[in-house]
Each structure stands twice: as C-alpha cells, then as structure tokens.
Amino acid sequence: MWMIYTIGFIVTIVLALGLTPLVKKFAFKVGAVDVPNARKVHTKIMPRLGGLGIYLSFIIALFLLLPFLPDTLTVREVNFVKAFLVGGSMIVLLGALDDRFDLPAKLKFIIQIATACVVVYGFDIRIEFANIPFHTYSSVESWIAIPFTILWIVGVTNAINLIDGLDGLAAGVSAIAIGTIAVMAFIMGNTIVVLLCLLLLGSILGFLYFNFHPAKIFMGDSGALFLGFCLAMLSLLGFKQVAIVSFLTPLILIGVPLSDTLFAILRRWMQKKPIFSPDKGHLHHCLRELGFSHRQTVLIIYGIAAFFGVLAIIQSSAAMYNANWVTFVVICVMMFFLQIGAEVIGLIGKTKRPVLNFIARLRMKVSEERGSK
C-alpha cells in the first residue's frame, strides 16, 4: 500500500502542475473571471475555476489507482468512495457554474442540500457513532443522524469558502487540514482515508504552485466548495468507521474558518449589522491592517491552522484511550488562544477586548499592591 500511496501522491502533483495552466486558459475563454472591487485584494482580472485542476488531478489519479487497491475494502468503504465521487462531482459542477455565472445564494444552498441528501440516502453515509467528551460513545438514532449529517456536509462545504480571501490561503489551510486527517487515519489504520487524503493533498500542492502569492489563478467556488465537501466527507468516515473519534475532532480541524465565521457573526451582531452582510473584518483583513504583508498574513494563518491540526491529533489520540482530561485541556487551550488572538487581532472589534483589559487591570492592581508595600 505504501507504494500506491507514494505513486498516487506524486501523480496528483504532476497532474495538477500540468492541468492547472490548461484550466487557466479555459477560464479566460469561457469568462470565468474574478473582477476586482472594494472588498477584494487583487487589482486585476483573475481567472477562476482553479478547483477544476484540483478535482481533475484527484479523479484521474484515483481511477488510475483503483485496479491496484486491495480487495479487503468493506461495503461501507466502497459506498463511501462512490458517494465521495458522485457528491464531489456535483459540488464541483455547482462551483464551476457559480464561477462563471455567479449563481444566486439560495440556488447554491438548495443544490448543496440536494447533494448531501444524495450522499445520505443514496449511499447510506451518515453519522452512526459519536463519542462526546466525558461520555461513552453510543449509536446515534436515525432521526438525529440524518439531519445532522446533512447539516454537517452543507456547513463544512461552505466553511472553506469563507476564508478564500488571499492568494493561497484557502488551498493551504485545506491542505493542512487534509494532511492532519491523513495522520489521524494512519494512526487508526484507515487505509482508504489515507489514500484519499494523499491524493487530495498532492492535487492541492500542485495547484498551490500557481495559487500562492502572487497568484496566477484563483480556485474559485469550484475549488473552495469541493475542498470543503472533501473535509466534510473525510470526517464523516471517521465518525462512521471509528467510533472512538470524538465529536470535537472535525470541529478542531476546521478551526480557522469556523472561528472566523463565529467571530464574524458576533462582530456583526454587536455592531447591529445583518449577520450575512460582507465586511472587511475577517482574520486575513485584520492581519493585513496590522501591517503584515500578503505572504506573511497567509503564512501566519497557515501556522494557526497547523496549531489546530496538532490539537486535533492530540485530542483524537486521547479519545482512543478515553483520556477525557486531555480533551478538557485541549478545549481550554483552544478557547484561551482563540479569545486572546481575536482580541489582539481585532476580530470582534477594535475596542472589544474584555480578557486583555481584565489582564491589564489585574497587572495594574498587582503593581499597585507591590508599590504600597
């Protein structure tokens, strides 16, 4: 299997390097371009549809390797691969059409729900087991599992799209999350997940050669939605096949887009603005305002994503041995750094810094007490 993993990883990189320039020409030909505006960082018309390069590299490599896969795959794993291909193709088609025609948000949402329903009802992919921290794992009833699975697929599918604001940002964060899943799958002996992750990882890295700053092509919705869908599906297989994986692990994996979204909702609510109204208060915007360059901002967020990845590996490894105290520590560490980071960067607001202000008052009080002695 290691030979298959290695060959697949190399093949996808080579395919992405070769296909992405062709996709770029195709995007210009059909008019799938991104025009600059006040909210966007780029200053010239850029081709979109870069997700097609990732998708095609992944699909071609997977079909090339299918004859060499072992015959020991379970029915569930085979169904999962089929659901992955069918659902992923539907999502890529949706994203590609949106890259060209800017589809209405409601239509995209309906198609995403339809795709999730195909995955759930057509291939019987759903959450079957959950291991909530400080509680033993147990089976999940269908009336809970089905809607939650659909909600999870749709939610995570859109998560990567929320941070696709700088060259190489969404692709790099996705690569880190998928690499983290690969490590966890290897630890748990889930070979099919390892293979899918490595094929995706190679495709993303090959695409990143053209997408890192200064980008020559954007991944567009075709890429952001596809990678979000892949993350949703890969975490679902972990839920389904490995009951010891904690409910929190997938949430930690998408910690960067998830936290950015939650802080955006909180920020807009406090400012009495519509929750879904666009603004320039996202993580990458705030880092740019602090004076970091385009590349520095992207690399900082890569570091944050890697931090979440390490926490996810620690948490899932602890869940294997029911070490719930580790989960508690991970949650505390994550929440602390999230809050402190958000206040320093200004994700909630420039003046909303309750924890930092509390620490400052505490230090001042301690200094006054020392001075009075």
Residues whose CB is less than 8 angstroms from the CB of residue 29 and which lie 6 or more positions away in sequence, other chains included: none
What does the alpha-carbon distance between residue 314 and residue 327 come to, in Å, rounded to a whole number?
A: 8
User: Long-range contacts made by residues 26-30, C-beta under 8 angstroms, separation at least 24?
Assistant: 26/52, 27/99, 27/217, 30/100
**DSSP assigned state of 373:** -
Instruction: Kindly tell me the burial class for residue 354, based on how many C-beta atoms sit within 10 Å of its own C-beta (0-12, 13-18, 19 or more).
Output: exposed
Q: Is residue 161 annotated as involved in ligand binding?
A: yes
What does the alpha-carbon distance between residue 121 and residue 163 come to, in Å, rounded to a whole number?
A: 30
DSSP secondary structure letters along 255-270:
HHHHHHHHHHHHHHHH
What does the alpha-carbon distance between residue 312 and residue 293 come to, in Å, rounded to a whole number?
A: 29
What value, to the nearest 5°, has the Cα angle with vertex 326 and ends 323 and 327?
95
Q: Two tokens at 38? A: 């006040």
- Collapsing DSSP to helix, strand or coil, 127 comes out as coil
CA 94 to each of CA 235, 244, 288: distance values in angstroms, whole numbers, following the listed order = 22, 34, 31
Instruction: Say if CB 91 and CB 34 are below 8 A apart.
Output: no
Cis peptide leading into residue 257 (ω within 30°)? no
Q: Is residue 164 annotated as involved in ligand binding?
A: no
Cα 38 from chain centroid? 26
What does the alpha-carbon distance between residue 373 and residue 367 come to, in Å, rounded to a whole number?
A: 10
What does the alpha-carbon distance between residue 168 and residue 297 come to, in Å, rounded to a whole number?
A: 11
What does the alpha-carbon distance between residue 276 and residue 274 come to, in Å, rounded to a whole number?
A: 6
What does the alpha-carbon distance between residue 81 and residue 87 come to, in Å, rounded to a whole number?
A: 10
Question: Bridge partners of 47?
Answer: 33
Cα 357 from chain centroid? 32
Annotated binding site: 161, 221
Binding positions for Mg(2+): 161, 221
